[in-house]
Amino acid sequence: MLIVLSGPSGVGKGTVRQAMLADDFRDFQYSVSMTTRKPRPGEQDGVDYYFRTKEQFEAEIAAGQMLEYAKYVDNYYGTPLKYVNKTLDSGRDVLLEIEVNGAMQVREKCPDGVFIFLTPPDLMELKHRLIGRGTDSEDVINKRVKQAAQEIKMMENYDYAVVNDEVPKACKRIERIIESEHLRVPRVIDKYRNMVN
């Protein structure tokens, strides 16, 4: 099953994803995204993102090797297609942590995915989180908050909305969604048809 975790910049997608992956109970594979932005302190290539130049990223686009991609605040972000297909074919769930525009591209290509929109409690809290990062200028923060307001309007294109008020609570909510989705009849019916036959 393809699980798409998305939401505005600064909402805590990366923090929630890391907390979910730290719990061995959750059996899914995280698909590392590719970006042209510079690494933040502590981020590692191939772990947090595949960090590439603009030219390298555009070559991947031209070769049709991206499941989705978007340009956000002057940087590209995207999901390498090969890794996602290989993991799904092996029978494991794949978790994508991506921006809103990228999620809409995935929605078109993989309509049976599970699309979860992570929301901030409110926009002021989002701004405080962005300031707390200490990685962006005031101008960039203001652009991100303005962009976030537009992205929240796109929530109607998702299956679920989860408020990230506290990371452990948000993880638990997402875990319940994934468990429920695994029990949906369209996902299990073939197994039972084979059993009956």
- Please enumerate, by residue number, every residue annotated as part of a binding site for ATP: 7-14
Give the position of tokens 């976030």.
148
- Alpha-carbon distance values, 110 to 44, 84, 104, 153 (Å): 29, 12, 10, 21
Task: Name the pairing type of β-strands 28-31 and 33-35.
Answer: unpaired
CA distances from 1 to 28, 125, 150, 154 (A): 9, 32, 28, 23
Q: Which residues pair with 53 in a beta bridge?
A: none
State the binding site.
Answer: 7-14
CA angle 67, 91, 68 (to 5 degrees): 5
Q: Are 28 and 113 in contact (CB under 8 A)?
A: no
Enter the tokens of residue 83: 């890794």
